[in-house]
């Protein structure tokens, strides 16, 4: 009986071991299944990512292909050539300038023809005839016009404006750009224009000139190593090129029929108007009675002769005055016993025409005014504090354009000469809107800083004039005419 129980116990234990093995196997299978399921999901995700990436790449490739096609079409459409000239250095030929408007038209035609010929030589396999030519001549019109007038090429500085207008109108993309005085203005505009256009696919070639200003070398130097850009740049030589431009290795051309190949002369001294003075006679010529009568009548007062007066009486010479030797500048003419007419025969002094000063760069220089008295300054400040600010136009020019009714400033205060001087200094402290280009003779505003480089103000209204040349070189009159100061010209040739 006990043996049978032992067998049953062994079988039960065997069943239990079998159950444990089965549970372990099932557990292991479940774990492996879970691992396989996780790997499957990862593979599915990788596949989905690969599919999305492939589709994205296909879309990007399609967009890139379309963009490339568009760029090719764009680069092939509206091709142009850029010509940039520093007009202060690239001086047109004297003959072209002297022709005024006609010269501007002729200069544009000649320049276009020369550029066309250069393009045909440079790009023989391209349809260069379809390329537009964009020309920018950047310069200080007033400064160069004044210089050309002083050299006798122009009659007036404003003639250059007529030349420039004709140059710009001759071709639709030709521009004559006035940047005013200041060397860096033209340089900055040309440098930035070059950087903007040089990498445009539509810009097929760039002509840059002249080769005499070494300030342009830093902007050109990086391009000499660029094999894509350097063949597309041509330098225009007017005066002999500086060595730095030759070292760039860029192509250099000359247009001798268009541009001057030498510097302008310093100035042309205009001959002074000759004054012919008759030599004083050593002896007095004998005059007839009729001549003496005509001479006397020209000095006598216009009055009717007394009835019955004879010709001899009317021709009688007046007795010499007792004080006739006292002065050689006054003469009394008349009959004895009759009030004489006094005539001033002294030469009249020539009235000085109002003018303003310019330096050699055509920048206005304000004439110096005396320093105001300290007490006058205190009185003026107290007056302004009590009644308000005074009208500059009313007190300094004598007339306010707005009138007392509409002007916001004071008109009815009486200012002493010292206070008027204070007001002039106050007005000078206000910057003129036209700056140093102002040509209004009675302008009350200031046009430059009186301290110059010694100015220590953090926010000076005239900060851009601190390096300005303060030596007067010319006078400008009310009619716009200019006159070089002789002492300045003499100093140049010492």
In a domain, 74, yes or no: no
In a domain, 146, yes or no: yes
Does 105 share its domain with 250? yes
Does 243 share its domain with 361? no
In a domain, 174, yes or no: yes
- Strand 474-477 to strand 482-484: parallel, antiparallel, or no bridges (unpaired)? antiparallel
Residue 149: its pLDDT value, please?
A: 85
Beta bridge partners of 81: 133, 205
Look up the domain containing 229 and give its range.
80-254
Would residue 152 be called left, alpha or beta, if left means φ above 0 and alpha means ψ between -120 and 50 degrees? left
Count of CB atoms situated within 10 Å of the CB of 106: 19
List the one residue out of 217, 251, 201, 216 whose CA is nearest residue 231: 251
pLDDT digits (tens, 9 = 90+) for 309-338: 433 333 333 444 444 444 444 444 454 554
| End position of a domain, from candidates 254, 269, 286 | 254
| End position of a domain, from candidates 225, 254, 283 | 254
> What's the CATH code of the domain at 148?
3.40.50
User: In Å, what is the CA distance from 313 to each residue of 288, 289, 291, 334, 351?
Assistant: 15, 12, 15, 12, 42
Residue 349: its pLDDT value, please?
A: 59
In a domain, 1, yes or no: no
pLDDT digits (tens, 9 = 90+) for 239-282: 888 899 999 999 999 999 999 998 887 655 443 333 333 333 33
Q: Is the pTM of this model over 0.75?
A: no
User: In Å, what is the CA distance from 39 to each residue of 34, 368, 404?
Assistant: 9, 93, 95
Question: Which parts of the chain have pLDDT scores under 50?
Answer: 269-333, 335, 338
List the one residue out of 268, 211, 255, 269 whose CA is nearest residue 96: 255
In a domain, 122, yes or no: yes
Does 360 share its domain with 215? no
Residue 75: its pLDDT value, please?
A: 61
Does 85 share its domain with 201? yes
What is the pLDDT of the chain when averaged over all its residues?
A: 80
Does 366 share its domain with 241? no
**Cβ distance 216 to 187 under 8 Å?**
yes
In a domain, 46, yes or no: no
Rounded CA gap, 225 and 238, in Å? Answer: 25
Q: Provide the number of structural domains found in the chain.
A: 2
Q: Which two tokens stand for residue 387?
A: 């009644």
Does 111 share its domain with 248? yes
Does 114 share its domain with 238? yes
In a domain, 335, yes or no: no
| End position of a domain, from candidates 209, 227, 254 | 254
Does 242 share its domain with 373? no
Residue 164: its pLDDT value, please?
A: 94
In a domain, 314, yes or no: no
């Amino acid at each position: 009986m006990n043996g049978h129980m032992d067998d049953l116990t062994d079988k039960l234990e065997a069943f239990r071991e079998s159950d444990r093995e089965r549970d372990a196997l099932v557990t292991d299978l479940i774990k492996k299944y879970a691992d396989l399921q996780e790997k499957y999901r990862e593979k599915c995700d990788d596949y989905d990512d690969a599919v999305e990436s492939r589709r994205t790449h296909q879309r990007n490739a399609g967009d890139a292909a379309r963009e490339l096609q568009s760029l090719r079409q764009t680069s092939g459409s509206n091709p142009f050539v850029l010509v940039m000239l520093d007009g202060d250095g690239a001086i047109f030929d004297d003959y072209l300038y002297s022709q005024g408007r006609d010269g501007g038209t002729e200069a544009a035609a000649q320049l276009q023809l020369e550029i066309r010929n250069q393009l045909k030589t440079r790009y023989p396999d391209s349809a260069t005839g379809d390329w537009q030519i964009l020309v920018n001549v950047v310069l200080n019109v007033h400064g160069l016009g004044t210089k050309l007038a002083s050299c006798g090429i122009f009659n007036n500085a404003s003639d250059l404006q007529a030349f420039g207008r004709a140059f710009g109108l001759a071709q639709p993309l030709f521009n004559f750009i006035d940047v005013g005085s200041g060397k860096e203005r033209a340089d900055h505009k040309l440098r930035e224009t070059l950087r903007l256009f040089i990498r445009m696919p539509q810009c097929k070639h760039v002509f840059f000139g002249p080769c005499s200003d070494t300030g342009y070398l830093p902007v050109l130097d990086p391009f000499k190593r660029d094999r894509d850009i350097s063949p597309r740049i041509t330098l225009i030589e007017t005066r002999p090129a500086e060595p730095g431009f030759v070292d760039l290795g860029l192509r250099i051309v000359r247009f001798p029929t268009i541009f001057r190949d030498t510097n302008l002369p310093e100035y042309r001294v205009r001959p002074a108007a000759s004054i012919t003075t008759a030599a004083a006679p050593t002896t007095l010529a004998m005059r007839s009675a009729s001549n003496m009568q005509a001479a006397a009548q020209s000095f006598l007062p216009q009055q009717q002769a007394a009835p019955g007066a004879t010709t001899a009486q009317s021709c009688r010479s007046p007795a010499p005055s007792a004080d006739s030797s006292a002065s050689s500048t006054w003469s009394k003419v008349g009959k004895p016993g009759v009030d004489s007419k006094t005539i001033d025969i002294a030469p009249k002094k020539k009235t000085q025409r109002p003018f303003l000063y310019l330096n050699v760069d055509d920048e206005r220089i304000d004439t110096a005014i005396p320093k105001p008295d300290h007490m006058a300054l205190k009185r003026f400040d107290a007056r302004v504090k009590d009644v308000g600010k005074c009208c500059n136009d009313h007190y300094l020019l004598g007339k306010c354009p707005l009138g007392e009714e509409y002007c916001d400033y004071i008109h009815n205060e009486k200012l002493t000469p010292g206070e008027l001087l204070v007001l002039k200094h106050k007005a000078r402290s206000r910057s003129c809107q036209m700056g140093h280009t102002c040509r209004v003779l009675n302008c009350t505003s200031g046009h430059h800083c009186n301290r110059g480089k010694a100015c220590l103000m953090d926010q000076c209204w005239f900060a851009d004039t601190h390096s300005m040349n303060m030596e007067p070189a010319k006078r400008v009159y009310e009619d716009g005419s200019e006159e070089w100061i002789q002492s300045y010209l003499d100093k140049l040739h010492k």
